[in-house]
Structure 1
Amino acid sequence: MGHTVLFMSMSLDGFIAGLDDDRSQPFGAGGERLFAWDASDDSARVHAEYDATGAVLAGRRTYDLVDGWGGDHHGVPVVIVTHAAPAKVPDGPSSFTFVTDGIARAVALAKEAAVGKDVLVHGADIAQQLLRAGLLDEIQLHLMPVLLGQGRPLFGTTPVELTILRVVDTPAATHIRYRVSR
């Protein structure tokens, strides 16, 4: 069975978006810099892992910020944890399931949809919920050589032990994959 893997770009000082991230500026002030690794040929191996995932799990805030990825999150099913489903869902190759009865149910549905592949997780709040519930297996960070100084932090203050599984160092970013210790 696949793992739940948080897949996030982050500044060296721990931010996943600059200040004032909203629909008009989903990554906040300066936050677009966090995704510069994605176009790098040196990071192709890491991007191939992203493309090989079987489903996506995210929260409603992330879904809204990126406008449902325009209906296509690399062609895989997407499970969104929310209090209420949106009135309209974008058309595209990705199917969307909106889960209102908790993170455990959302993980179960995402793993089922992933058919044995990893579930790609996006979002700080979802990451915190998964960590608290003991449902996050791995963390794949794309550490960018930039200090944003302020913005939206990825992690809270609860201690969590991690084991480094792999480090891929490229000129654009350092990609670190961790196993979450339980």
Structure 2
Amino acid sequence: MSGSSAGGGQVVVNRSMSLDGFIAGPGDTMGWVHDYLTADTFPEVMAATGAMLVGRRTHEVARQMAAEDTDYDGGPVFVLTHRPPDEPVAGVTFLSCDLAEAVATARAAAGGKNLEVLGADLASQCLRQGLVDEVLVYVLPVLLGDGVRFSTPGLGRIELEPVSRQQSGAVTLLRFRVPAARPAG
């Protein structure tokens, strides 16, 4: 069943990817993304986003990058983790529930707009459980050679339906629909 069955916006896996399939470089480096992509590259994506659900590792990488130009405002941020921090983090809600409940909580906060899912492991889990409506991929003209792959091992085959392709400068945005009914594994 699709993540949008509860109404409102879509559940969208949103990521930048090098041409050789990495969403982060060695050591989780992400600065290369900002060489090509800014919040102004595809402003309609940010405008359609109401909240973000982020994996813990991705959240930690983003915090390390906070000094860099990361002025993307995707609405309230929820981090799904087994280990919430002892001290609160401004602007972040930590969730320690099951995946479907986390998606429902973040979708409710999105106020009818899209929920972005960030992080390879979290996105793979959402895809495996049929909670994703769309996948957006910003293909950047760079080869990294190593790093964090687009999806985690064990995701299995998932057929996607191409929806659109847009170009902005050197960046290509590919949009795919995830069919509501698909075979497992």
TM-score normalised per structure 2 = 0.81
Q: Does 1:168 align with 2:166?
A: yes
SS in structure 2 opposite 1:55? strand
User: 2: distance between equivalents of 1:127 and 1:85?
Assistant: 19
CA contact (8 A) 2:37 2:171 kept: no
SS in structure 1 opposite 2:36? helix
CA contact (8 A) 1:38 1:47 kept: no
Select the residue among 4, 17, 22 that pairs with 1:15.
22
Deviations 1:18-70 (A, max 9, x none): 1112xxxxx2xxx42233332386x2xx2332243111001111111122886
User: 2: distance between equivalents of 1:103 and 1:131?
Assistant: 11
CA contact (8 A) 2:15 2:136 kept: yes
Matches within 5 A, 1:84-163: 84-91=83-90, 94=91, 96-155=92-151, 156=153, 158-163=156-161
User: 2: distance between equivalents of 1:163 and 1:106?
Assistant: 26
**CA 1:90 to 1:75, structure 2 compared with 1: closer, same or farther past 3 Å?**
farther
Give the match for residue 34 of structure 1. Answer: 33
User: 2: distance between equivalents of 1:32 and 1:75?
Assistant: 19
Aligned AA (2:134) = E
Give the match for residue 61 of structure 2. Answer: 65
CA contact (8 A) 1:137 1:179 kept: yes
**CA 1:40 to 1:136, structure 2 compared with 1: closer, same or farther past 3 Å?**
closer
| % identical aligned pairs | 40
User: 2: distance between equivalents of 1:75 and 1:160?
Assistant: 26
User: 2: distance between equivalents of 1:146 and 1:100?
Assistant: 36
Runs (5+) with no aligned partner, structure 1? 22-26
User: 1: distance between equivalents of 2:173 and 2:131?
Assistant: 22
**CA 1:175 to 1:13, structure 2 compared with 1: closer, same or farther past 3 Å?**
same
Q: Does 1:6 align with 2:2?
A: no
Equivalenced residues, count: 167
Runs (5+) with no aligned partner, structure 2? 1-7
Aligned AA (1:32) = G
Select the residue among 33, 44, 47 that pairs with 1:48.
44
User: 1: distance between equivalents of 2:33 and 2:145?
Assistant: 13
